[in-house]
Amino acid sequence: MSKPRKENLLEREQFELKAKSGGGVLSYEVWGYVENGKTVVTRYNLAYINHEIYQGRDGRVLGFDNAHGYHHRHYLGKVEAVEFLSYEAILERFQQEWPEIVRRAQGKKK
């Protein structure tokens, strides 16, 4: 019988964005383990927080996580399930979406 793998915190980072980059905070929290030289992500929470764009839910404008037993996306207070192909695909989607949200928000301010 195989021993259960110990989940470890792989990454926890926050980046404060300057106003010209949209302001707010990017937050990354990733848990998992390494097996045969490959990283296996078991839990993740990615968030773009900006109280200037969204005042509800702690200012979380955009987020992706797999809490509550399913993979989902938060956007301006709404939650929707997302198809999970890989953590890398979710991360790429997050990295594409938050700058677009900033561009739209900055366009409204001008």
Residue type present at position 92: E
DSSP letter at 51? T
Can you tell me whether residue 76 is helix, strand or coil?
coil
pLDDT of residue 1: 58
Query: What pLDDT score was predicted for residue 103?
Result: 94
pLDDT value of residue 3 = 63
Specify the pTM.
0.89
pLDDT score at 93:
98
CA 27 – CA 16 distance, rounded (Å) = 9
In order along its 110 residues, the chain shows pLDDT tens digits of: 566 678 999 999 999 999 989 999 999 999 999 999 999 999 999 999 999 999 987 899 999 999 999 999 999 999 999 999 999 999 999 999 999 999 999 886 54
Residue spans per domain, the chain: 8-109
In one-letter notation, the amino acid at residue 16 is E
Give the pLDDT confidence score for residue 69 in this predicted structure.
Answer: 94
Residues 6+ apart with CB under 8 A from 7: 31, 32, 33, 42, 43
